[in-house]
């Protein structure tokens, strides 16, 4: 498990910022579970890993908040 600052990725950061509102609307129209709360319970092991990972790491941009 990683502790501390996550390695910054310019490619992933740009992709996250440019994924538009229409694309999310299309995904939610096709998949009824897209973006809904509680969907992580389908994979409890992954949910637990992600919860710990998000609590123990921080982003480069969090340093400026």
**CA distance linking residue 42 with residue 53, whole number of Å:** 18
Say what the pTM is: 0.64
* The pLDDT of residue 21: 86
Q: What average pLDDT score do residues 38-49 get?
A: 85
The Cα–Cα gap between 25 and 28 comes to 5
What pLDDT band is residue 43 in, cutting at 50, 70 and 90?
confident
pLDDT at 54: 93
What's the rounded Cα separation, in Å, for the pair 39 and 13? Answer: 24
Q: Could you report the per-residue pLDDT of 4-27, keeping only the tens digit for each?
A: 999 999 999 898 888 888 898 999
């Amino acid at each position: 498990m990683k502790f501390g600052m996550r390695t910054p990725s310019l490619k992933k950061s740009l992709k996250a910022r440019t994924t538009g509102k229409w694309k999310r609307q299309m995904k939610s129209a096709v998949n009824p579970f897209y973006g809904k709360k509680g969907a992580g319970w389908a994979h409890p092991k992954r949910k637990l890993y992600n919860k710990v990972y998000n609590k123990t790491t921080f982003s480069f941009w969090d340093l400026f908040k």
